A and B are shown apart, each in its own frame.
Chain A
Amino acid sequence: MNPRAIQRAIVRMIYDPGFLGAVYGPRALPGLSEPERALLQQVDRRAFTTDRFRRARAVHAIVDEYPASAAAIGLAALEGFLGSREFSAVLIGRGAMALAFGTWLNDQASGVGRIEAAMAGLRRPAPAPPGTGSLRCATNIAPLIVPAGSLEWYEATIAALGPEPLQGLADQQRRPGLPRRSPIRKRQADEHLLIELRPDGGMSLGTASEPLVRLLRFASTPRSRPMLAAEAVARGASAQEAPALLAGLIADGLLVSA
């Protein structure tokens, strides 16, 4: 028997009533052998539900980092994450719940979800991939392309929710007017954003030019200077301007050595 598999199953059981029911149900479960499941079934299933506030605490932790997304989809929908395969993947892969929530959210909260998922990622920078002599976008910068109006909707929602977003959300229905990309391409313009994690832990959000955002997104994996110069030219710079442009981005801390 694999004790870690059993322990992971217990964590799912205490967060996800559906999975708890499945453990005591008639069918085998992936990732859990029948002897392991039988061991769990020997315990009174009510023993896994004594903490009435466990799910609420998880929701609180998510809302702390995704208040506007929670306003967009509603708290009831948000709780669905705790029964998702993305949440299960956190347990198996030593993941971070806040990052997995961003993956689960996908486009449910449109550009606002992308903004908050990017912030969650900036708070937890992944180790930089190796690449000698290359440049990459700084790990405290997230370049984003979102539907037009997303930043305004995000900022208005944060202001409306106030300092205790969870309390505000509990009293509200889903907040209307979330900007979404039009299914007809080019009908609705995109918005290009840079999010910066400041040294004090706060975030700065602002719009930027499309060429700059696309160049930094190109540099999300390490690139050589010639490759970045070629991308800058493809985005509208002249061949003569490109070296100075890259030097300026390095001086501003937007591009760093990989």
Chain B
Amino acid sequence: MSDFRSRLAGLPVLGLGVSTEYGASLAAGALDPMRLRREHPAYAGFLEVGVELVKGLDAPARAWAAAGAPTTYHFLDINLDEPEDLDAGWLAGVRALCDTLRPAWLCGDAGLWHFGRRDRGHMLLLPPILIAESVAPMAEGIAALRAATGLEVLPENPPGTAFVGDLHLLEFFARVAEAADTGLLLDCAHLAMYQRLTGRAALDGLDHVPWDRVIELHVAGGSEREHDGFAWVEDEHGPELLPDTWAIAQVAMRRASNLRAVVVECERNPIAAVLPLFARVAAVLPTYMRTVSSDRSIDP
């Protein structure tokens, strides 16, 4: 396979999009992605579909795909650094869903999505161990998944309350990107959590980032919590951005020279509650990302 920078030309510009996962939009008052696309097409250029294979796709995600609207596939059930996790059954399921969704690429938190094997009650999400020895297994898993699906695989920095290791989170992901020769998904809210938990300033370590590899950004609101005197941020995908998240997002949008997609993660909120957030993000979006592809959902 050719190197990432030559493969870049095959990655479409998706613009500003919205995320979902199984059942999220079916809850009372939750955002209906298709309605958002009809009423505010510039805010729903694509749908990032969070997928746990055992659950599959819900009706709204299937409807979006059936309309031919753009998608990305966000995995929720693969430990990229465990070769055993890329088993034939799981890969066959991923390929089948890719046939339905026709995603522009795969992406997702590069962390521990489950302990033991995939099974009931095993799901969690923990960040990777930030040490040099973690880089190669993660990179090998990314390359293997890319080879098995024929799609780019963008690792995302996960959320967490406990980050273990001596590497800065961004240095770790820079090394992974280089070793896997891949692009990156930078989650601005997750990065803000890490910076705060480790006592760093919001923009600390941004020079580690290989900005030309950053293809996608996530922006989401979070809530400050305290437990037993320990302060942390909950990744609740709410409509209110923490100032650190916004500061990171603004820098990232200026520096990511090959940016293709920005997701506002707010899937469980009413449309009216999140329109100001979309407007805020859209206002700083690079100009080339402000057009939206048409399809049957908005151009019948």
Q: Could you tell me which A residues sit within 8 Å of B by CB distance?
A: 1-4, 6-8, 10-11, 14, 39-40, 42-44, 46-52, 54, 57-58, 60-62, 64-65, 90-91, 93-98, 124
Contact = CB atoms under 8 A, between A and B. Distances in A.
A52 B157 CA distance: 23
Contact of A10 (B120, B164, B225): B164
Among all A-B residue pairs, the 8 with the closest Cβ atoms: A61-B121, A46-B230, A47-B162, A3-B129, A3-B134, A90-B116, A50-B161, A96-B119
Interface in B121-136: 121-122, 124, 126, 128-129, 131, 133-134
7 contacts: A6-B164, A11-B124, A39-B131, A47-B162, A54-B124, A62-B121, A96-B122
Grouping DSSP codes into helix (H, G, I), strand (E, B) and loop, the B interface class, with mixed when no group exceeds half, is loop
Given A39-B131, A39-B166, A40-B164, A49 B116 contact: no
B116 A91 contact: yes
Contacts of B30: none
Contacts of B134: 3
Contacts of B117: 94-96
A49 B227 contact: yes
Nearest to B160: A47
Contacts of B119: 96-98, 124
Contacts of B163: 43
Given A6-B129, A47-B161, A58 B230 contact: no
Contacts of A40: 164
Contact of A64 (B120, B133, B166, B229): B120
A47 B232 contact: yes
A11 B230 contact: no
B120 A65 contact: yes
A44 to B, nearest CB: 6
Given A91-B115, A95-B116, A95-B117, A43 B131 contact: no
A233 to B, nearest CB: 41
Grouping DSSP codes into helix (H, G, I), strand (E, B) and loop, the A interface class, with mixed when no group exceeds half, is helix
A50 B121 contact: no
Contact of A11 (B112, B128, B166, B227): B112
A1 B164 CA distance: 12
Contacts of B225: 50
B137 interface: yes
Interface of B: 81-82, 84, 112, 115-117, 119-122, 124, 126, 128-129, 131, 133-134, 137, 161-166, 197, 225, 227-230, 232
A1 B131 contact: yes
A1 B128 CA distance: 14
Q: Which of B117, B134, B162, B165 has the most CB of A within 10 A?
A: B162
B77 to A, nearest CB: 14
A10 B115 CA distance: 11
Contacts of B197: 47
Contacts of B164: 6, 10, 39-40, 42-43
Nearest to A90: B116
Contact of A43 (B81, B82, B122, B162): B162
Given A3-B134, A93-B116, 13 more contacts: A10-B126, A10-B162, A39-B129, A44-B162, A47-B162, A47-B197, A49-B227, A58-B121, A61-B120, A90-B116, A91-B115, A91-B116, A97-B120
A212 to B, nearest CB: 31
Given A11-B115, A46-B227, A47-B161, A3 B133 contact: yes
B228 to A, nearest CB: 5
A57 B137 CA distance: 29
Contacts of A57: 121
Contacts of A8: 115
B120 A11 contact: no
B133 A2 contact: yes
B250 to A, nearest CB: 28
Contacts of A2: 133
A8 B115 CA distance: 8
